[in-house]
Structure 1
Amino acid sequence: MLIGIPHVLSPELLKLLMEMGHGDEIVLADANFPAASHAQRLVRSDGHAIPELLDAMLKLFPLDSYVDKPAALMQVVAGDSVETPIWDTYAAIIQERSGVADPFETVERFAFYERARRAYAIIATGERAPYANVILKKGVIT
């Protein structure tokens, strides 16, 4: 155990966050996402929800300030009537931790999958909210 490190961040996840460089992307994947088949590096975090992981990560992880939108969400598929209140939760966490007021771009479902394949790592979570997947682009420490 270490002082100041959120308990939801496993040693494996901390190692990946440290290895990532400026512009690398990491996916926080919900429980329905095909994480194992898409990941170059996979971290299992099945017992945790994405908001708690996002909040913990952003205590240590800078978002990229050189891009307009340092985070991406999977666009709701046309005709799907699902609501996405978790996106507001993410926005509030990002605003509080990084100061970015409008961090998201939305990415079409299959384009999101392709982008996830290129990501540095995917964190498979236990998040059950629909369309809860989010990609974060790492920034620099200033």
Structure 2
Amino acid sequence: MKKSGILNAELSRIVAGLGHGDLLVIADAGLPVPAGVPCVDLAVTLGVPAMLEVLDTVLSEMCVETAFRAEEAGAVGGEIDARVQCDLVSHEVFKERSAGAVAVVRTGEGTPYANVGLVSGVVF
């Protein structure tokens, strides 16, 4: 049994399998998951787990080359930006880009637009 980091087996497998340029989306509870994109559903109840908690855990294990978020994110956008530098796109563009994701990680977050797209980098 793992004793630290990502304990969810499916999410751990996905992060470990990311290649350069792969997209992983960390999403609030309401983001529509595009057809054909796997969803790792971590939501237990509204607010649990929080998107920023999941983001922090994923960032501890993932090499991120670039990231993007919706410009409509408001205050939560600043919280996301404090963790990872993001390009800003419209929410509509965010949803379109999500269609190319390796997976969408659905959290219990209830804050509108609390979503981030993480593009995998390389550690060398």
TM-score interval, smaller chain:
0.7 to 0.9
Render the CA deviation track for 1:39-72: whole Å, top value 9, x for unaligned.
Answer: 51110010311110111111110111xxxxx111
1:3, distance to aligned residue in structure 2 (A): 2.8
Which of 33, 52, 68 is the aligned partner of 1:72? 68
Question: Partners of 1:39 and 1:71 in 2: how far apart?
Answer: 22
Native 8 Å contact 1:74 1:107 kept in 2: yes
Give the fraction of aligned pairs with identical amino acids, expressed as a percent. Answer: 32
Partner of 2:58: 57
- Distance in structure 2 (CA, Å) of the matches to 1:121 and 1:55: 17
- Any unmatched runs of 5+ in structure 2? none
- TM-score by structure 1 length? 0.77
Find the partner of 1:28 among 4, 26, 29.
26
Deviation at 1:93, TM superposition (A): 2.5
Moved more, 13-22 or 108-117: 108-117
Instruction: State the SS of the aligned residue for 2:99.
Output: helix
Q: Which residue of 1 aligns with 2:3?
A: 3
**CA distance in structure 1 between the aligned counterparts of 2:70 and 2:121, rounded to whole angstroms:** 21
**What residue ranges of structure 1 are gaps of 5+ in the alignment?**
65-69, 77-82, 95-102
Amino acid at match of 2:55: L
CA RMSD of aligned residues (A): 1.6
1:11-22 residue pairs with structure 2 within 5 A?
11-22=9-20
CA gap 1:85/1:39 in 2 versus in 1, 3 angstroms: farther
**Partners of 1:59 and 1:15 in 2: CA distance:** 15
Partner of 2:75: 85
- Report the count of equivalent residues: 120
Larger Rg: 1
